[in-house]
Amino acid sequence: EKGGWSSFMAKEIAEDPEAVANTLRGRLVDGLPSLGELGSLDDDALRGIDRVQIVACGTAAYSALVGKYAMEAWARIPVEVDLAHEYRYRDPIVDERTLVISISQSGETMDTKMAVQHAIAQGARTLSICNTQGSTIARASEAVLYTHAGPEVAVASTKAFLAQVVALLLTGLHLGRVRGAMADDAIREVTEALEELPEQLRTLLADQDEIRELAQWMSDTRSVLFLGRHVGYPVALEGALKLKELSYIHAEGFAAGELKHGPIALIEPGQVVFVVVPSPRHQQGLHAKVVSNIQEIRARGARVIAVAEAGDSAVLPYANQVLRIPLTLPLLEPVLSVVPLHVFALELATAKGLDVDQPRNLAKSVTVE
């Protein structure tokens, strides 16, 4: 039931805070991840693996990319991400020391299921991150971590994406702890930030008028680009995917560092570019690099909408508009920065009079290869 909402998607975005809270619920004890539900994928098993491969399709594959950054940083284990339909056809190097994590909201996506079966046939350990209880992929895997985001009806995924990212972050912390790559204090710093996310999402969602106005103003736009770097890169990909799915506008996401290697050729006066700006607290100076990307595209006439941390004033002289997100740890930022992009896609499609819950040609879960 939609309740008072104009669409399931609007309702599901409003449920972001609850979805994230539900993914965390019962999985932190004294500030440390507690994932006893993984059954035979216990601490010994997780100490025995030497690589992680994540397989998924669509939005779920973008959550996987965020997971890769976090897992490598925290657990110091190599992580590869594959689109599930590419995975088994490239004859991946996988054995009993490989942990294959599949991510699927529905748990029924055929491409993802086939990738899991391929991994099992090679002797891999398998963990699935699913939203739907008892789904095929959940049942096929050795262990399952349910996202508990609640039913998602709109074809385009929103709250389930946030929940997938959070489940991957928990998995990364758990691996980091079990494998001795991360001290308990460092883990607690992250889990404290994780526990703040639901409230921060509430604050963020409380004021969406600016994005609505922007979307209405842009309803005739024909192309939108999205740039991001580090964990902001998958957010840019997700922002572009959602916009093309819902509003049938050409949209593309790029890694900001790649701009000078090609995409900058697309910049002409009036081109709208969303830039997901990394936190100034990011260790490797990425913030300054992205700000300089913004200067480069502004100089060529782009109209820049920055998604930036509250208080980040460095973007102000260059961006046409700044959408603010609350402060969190850099690796957790996607959970917040993706929200304005989801809302933007919803509002733009609404402004164009389109059916946001049932975009043309798409299905909620694709059960054929």
Which span sits near ligand BG6 by CB under 6 A: 16-24, 42-50, 153-161, 220-228?
A: 153-161
Query: CA 320 to CA 210: how far, in whole Å?
Result: 13
Checking DSSP bridges between strand 32-33 and strand 28-29, what pairing results, if any?
Answer: antiparallel
Please give the DSSP secondary-structure letter assigned to residue 323.
E
CB of 243 to ligand BG6, least distance (A): 13
Task: Work out whether 154 is an interface residue with ligand BG6 (CB under 6 A).
Answer: no
Task: Work out whether 58 is an interface residue with ligand BG6 (CB under 6 A).
Answer: yes
One residue of 157, 171, 221, 337 binding ligand BG6 per CB under 6 A: 157
One residue of 7, 106, 126, 128 binding ligand BG6 per CB under 6 A: 106
Task: Work out whether 365 is an interface residue with ligand BG6 (CB under 6 A).
Answer: yes
Whether residue 364 lies in the annotated active site: yes
Give 303-308 contacts, CB < 8 A, sequence gap 24+. Answer: 303/270, 303/271, 303/272, 303/273, 304/273, 304/275, 305/214, 305/272, 305/273, 305/274, 305/275, 306/274, 306/275, 306/277, 307/235, 307/274, 307/275, 307/276, 307/277, 307/337, 307/340, 307/341, 308/277
Of 35 and 138, which has the nearer Cβ to ligand BG6? 138
Task: Work out whether 362 is an interface residue with ligand BG6 (CB under 6 A).
Answer: yes
CB of 318 to ligand BG6, least distance (A): 33
Contacts with ligand BG6 by CB under 6 A: the residue count is 16
| Dihedral angle over CA of 80, 125, 51, 185, nearest 10 | 100
Task: Work out whether 104 is an interface residue with ligand BG6 (CB under 6 A).
Answer: yes
Which residue is closest to ligand BG6 by CB?
Answer: 58
Task: Work out whether 271 is an interface residue with ligand BG6 (CB under 6 A).
Answer: no
Q: Which residues are catalytic?
A: 364
